[in-house]
Amino acid sequence: MRWTAGSTTRTGVAMPPEPDDRVLRFGRVQRTVHRTTAFLMLICLVTAACLYLGPLAQVVGRRHIVAAVHEWSGISLPLPTLLGLIHPSFRADLQRLNRFAVYDRQWLRAVRRRRTSPQARPAGKFNAGQKIFAGWIAGAVVVMMLTGLLMWFSGVLPAISRTSAIFVHDWLAWMITAVIIGHARKAHKDPEARLGMRSGYVSAPWAVRNHPRWQPEREMEIARKTSLTGRCSIIPLRSRGLPMRGGDAASDRGR
């Protein structure tokens, strides 16, 4: 059996692509943010299970320590994302996740009709499902933090009862668990995607097949940034009082 760059072995492990056949999908910042957030989320889910499920709580014990770990890991969940905002590549990926294109609607229609061919599901760097997942999980984390703080400091907002906060917190925790399991299953079915998150690189054929709009999307972003840079470079020159061209100076005197 001959393995090519980016091919999948019989055990479901993607072979690293060759240096001349790989595409950078995620930089070190994106991978670090993803891993740290996943680690904190895993701690939240495990400690929540130890607090919520009676038999597991009896086995683990030390409820006050488990509760403290759960609370502080939950509060720390947004920190990796907030720190990642310092890097421009991470901000660029967030902008892509926050922007729906026309072909994203086509991707969703293909999912509803159970069409699985790459031609039926066009995608940029992130497909529509990944964008929806990112937006949903970000909102869910915010709600979990707010309800958790209301449970922790029950007297802060007397209008909202602690019972209501517990109800929302518990049900949303179950929903997050189900969504995270689905996310992990999708990743398990795509070894190349896991390779991209692990090493940062994917094979060029995989990128073209699964994200055909990624390269045009990137070219448009580069062109837009170039045009913005060109416009902005003129403004500081005039604001500093540097001499302008003769025609511009004459027109300004005429005004």
C-alpha 173/C-alpha 2 separation (Å) is 45
C-alpha 161/C-alpha 131 separation (Å) is 33
Mean pLDDT check: name the lowest of 29-33, 99-103, 155-159, 209-213: 155-159
Q: Which residue, 95, 78, 92, 97, is CA-closest to 33?
A: 78
In the three-class reduction of DSSP (H, G, I as helix; E, B as strand; rest coil), residue 14 is classed as strand
State pLDDT tens for residues 24-41.
999 999 999 999 999 999
C-alpha 255/C-alpha 252 separation (Å) is 5
Hey, what are 64's tokens? 């006050």
C-alpha 14/C-alpha 8 separation (Å) is 4
Q: What is the value of pTM for the model shown?
A: 0.75
Hey, what are 44's tokens? 């939240």
Catalogue all structural domains in the chain, each as residue range(s) with its CATH number.
Answer: 20-240 (1.20.950.20)
State pLDDT tens for residues 73-95.
999 999 999 999 999 999 999 99
State pLDDT tens for residues 218-231.
777 677 767 766 55
